[in-house]
Chains A and B, each alone.
Chain A
Amino acid sequence: MTRTIEFRDALREAMSEEMRRDTRVFLMGEEVAEYQGAYKVSRGMLEEFGPQRVIDTPISETGFAGLGIGAAMSGLRPIIEFMSWSFSLVAADQILNNAPKMLYMSGGQFPTPIVFRGNNGAGGQLGSTHSWCVESLYSNVPGLKMVIPFDAYDAKGLLKTAIRDDNPVFFLESERLLGVKGEVPEDEYLIPFGEATTRRQGGDCSIVSFGRPLYFCLEAAGVLADEGIECDVIDCRTIRPLDIDSIAESVRRTNYCVVVDQSWPFASVGAEVAAQVGEVCFDDLDNHVVRVHSDNVPAPYAYNLEQEMLPNARKIVEAVRAVTYNA
């Protein structure tokens, strides 16, 4: 049996199920308890689990991120909610310099099973400092895992896997997707890391993406299909580990690859995927890999400019036409 629920409900179900299953799991962050979550993700959780396991914090990301890492090193399994990943930047020393390296630096003594989660990417007219896409910046660090779910089904299955993982997992949600409804089974399920999935099938060009830009990819694929160009739309699901095998399988069929990544182009996940595709699919490519990113500027506040800056469907359509020599 499946039900249709919102993305935010899927997140809550994942956390609640794992907290029922394992008393070491707890949720901590700004407004997660009394206010029921700044985006209502944790609605009802304080009531069920009490203030010992659903904990409101001061506005101090460095403090509560560090507290969480210490708790993880001491045997608990925290879920740390950042209201926005933009706010995690002040906690960079904790989340980048401590959590991912602790197991290595302690010679295997201190695994750090912690999930950092929150909204990532442009929420819509939030301006330059609150519209961060941290995937490229953070995924550069060894020792962490990074998950970017596409819909409610994936959000639940991937978050449950994240909570059970013994490594720091960076779980990147989107404010724009929290209200999107999707079918989710009643029964428990988990989605393993490192397994990409295909969101649309076509043999003429591979479009590789993750998270919210996938919706633009699907929109573009519809336009392109009307022109006779059928696209494979690959959802990476997890950035670290990256399922290059599935991407390569698709590119070997289509001979063309467009990577869509909402972070900036320089030294980005998109650049990494393009490099790996170039390496493993060299003899199968009919053109270089083309990347579609946010433009190389801070996010503008103005609505029209922000739309133009993001990797929208028009840019993706143009990229696919160009890479397949149909421009």
Chain B
Amino acid sequence: MSIEITMPRLSDTMERGMIIKWNVKEGDAVSAGDSVADIETDKAIMEMQVFDDGHMARIVVPAGETVEVGTLIAVLAEDDEAVEDVAGAVSASMPPASAPAPTPAPAPVAGDGRIKASPVARRLAEEHGINLAGLQGSGPGGRIVKRDVQRAVETGQETVAAVPPSAQPSGTPVTPTPVTASPAPPVTSGLTTAIETIGGLKPGSVPLSNIRQMTARRLVEAKSTIPHYQVTVTFDMDALLGLRSTLNEQLTDQGIKLSLNDFLVRGCALAIHDHPEFNASWGGDHLEIHADVNIGLAIALPPERGGGLVVATIRQADRKSLRTISQDSKHLAEKARTRGLTIEEMADSTFTISNLGMFGVDHFTAIINPPNSAILAVGAALQKPVVRDGELTVGWEMSATLSLDHRIIDGASAARYLATLKQMIENPATLLV
């Protein structure tokens, strides 16, 4: 029996996905667990695995195309059947690959992107060839239950294209197969090529990755709906830089190198304890206060990953030592730039830090990352003429600008938070305990 592979729903908000590349060709043998394609969702690039052994009979949707979730993208031939037969049957029965598939009704999905359905609903759906992604669940939290599938059966809502008998040489019905996803290894998307070929400022059009499109939508929404304002503070960095170099000397052997940002993550997280509104989200008629202090780190993606920006989450940063924060942030940044982050690694931040200090930027402002209430834009630590004890001297200073949601935090609260943070940064021993 041939096995149908459809565009999987890989995140809770995914409606369509782009096939970045196929890792197999038609006719290739595949084994269960093989990654057959890299798929870009609105959030990340994931690899798509197959659950069955067989041969790739037909690639229906070529690389570079974007299709709706649930759309047939490929068909496998099982080991005991001829690839040509299956491919022929598919060709005869399928509409042209470019024709858009009917859009299924939004299916209930759990936070991790799974469709919520009871076990018996799943079994019945499989028996009747019903695609759960097309059903509306009537159970708690939108769970698809038995009666939802039964209703679909009664109304003839069989969403899997059966091969017409006349076009079916070996009497093989087509059934859908489950696919799993995991973060994909580095891929070269068509985008890189596009940018290279433009060269020397010639006019042209660059297709945007899903991640960049999603980022763009969110930024517009954040900037146009949140009443932003900014408060800037300058830190005296002499003590922290001194402490950092002492610590790093002692930690060299252990392979630890603390960055200024690691101290900032810890400082921002600890300061939130005294200012819980900084760990809140706007809820319309109430404030949602979060229990965990999760610090988001804005990470720029390299051009070969389509550019753009992601926010990695350091969970419970208030409970982590500098050493752990350093390891976490290095790991997440490296992974974001090479293999890509999982949805889990990007979810649930409550406060975000964006640091352009490494580019020598003195000072900038950032756009709030919803549903956060604030974002801290951090510049470089620079040597400056400073006045200490009435004397003009040379000292290290660093500016940081907080962008805030005025609905949640007013100016005086922002100033008080920055005073707490400034106290910690300028007396950094407190960050060690």
B123 in contact with A287 (CB, 8 Å): no
Contact of B145 among A282, A283, A284, A286 (CB under 8 A): A286
Count chain B CB atoms within 10 A of each CB in A285, A286, A325 and give the residue with the most: A286
CB distance from B29 to the nearest CB of A (A): 31
* A312 interface hit (Cβ, 8 Å): no
**Separation of A255 and B139 alpha carbons in the complex (Å):** 14
Cα–Cα, bound, A172→B122 (Å): 41
A206 to B123, alpha carbons, bound, how many Å? 19
A255 adjacent to B147 (CB under 8 Å)? no
Q: Which residue of A lies closest to B145 (CB)?
A: A286
Cβ–Cβ < 8 Å partners of A284 in chain B = 119-120, 123
Cα–Cα, bound, A137→B392 (Å)? 80
Describe A's contact surface by its main secondary structure.
loop
Taking A255-B146, A325-B145, A325-B147 as contacts, is the C-beta distance between A286 and B138 under 8 angstroms? Answer: no
Distance, CA A283 to CA B147, complexed state (A): 15
How many chain B residues touch A (CB < 8 A): the figure is 11
Within 8 A of B (CB), among A290-327: 325
B23 within 8 A of A: no
The reply to whether the CB of B121 lies closer than 8 angstroms to some CB of chain A is yes
B118, CB-defined interface residue at 8 Å: yes
Name the interface residues of B117-171: CB closer than 8 Å to any CB of A. Answer: 118-123, 138-139, 145-147
Chain B positions within 8 Å of A325 at CB level: 138-139, 145, 147
Q: In the assembled complex, which residues on chain A have CB atoms less than 8 Å from the CB atom of B121?
A: 286
Contact with B along A187-206 (1 / 0, CB 8 A): 00000000000000000000
Taking each of A282, A284, A285, A325, which has the highest tally of chain B beta carbons within 10 Å of its own beta carbon? A325
Give Cα A284–Cα B145 distance, bound, in whole angstroms: 11
Within 8 A of B (CB), among A51-101: none
Interface residues as binary, A141-167 with B (CB distance below 8 Å gives 1, 0 otherwise): 000000000000000000000000000
A283-B120, A287-B118 known; 4 new pairs, CB 8 Å cut-off, are A283-B123, A286-B119, A286-B146, A325-B139
Where the two chains meet, the residues of B that have a C-beta atom closer than 8 Å to any C-beta of A are 118-123, 138-139, 145-147
Please list 26 pairs of residues, one from A and one from B, whose beta carbons are closer than 8 Å in the complex, sorted by A's number: A255-B120, A255-B146, A282-B119, A283-B119, A283-B120, A283-B122, A283-B123, A284-B119, A284-B120, A284-B123, A285-B118, A285-B119, A285-B120, A286-B118, A286-B119, A286-B120, A286-B121, A286-B145, A286-B146, A287-B118, A287-B139, A287-B145, A325-B138, A325-B139, A325-B145, A325-B147
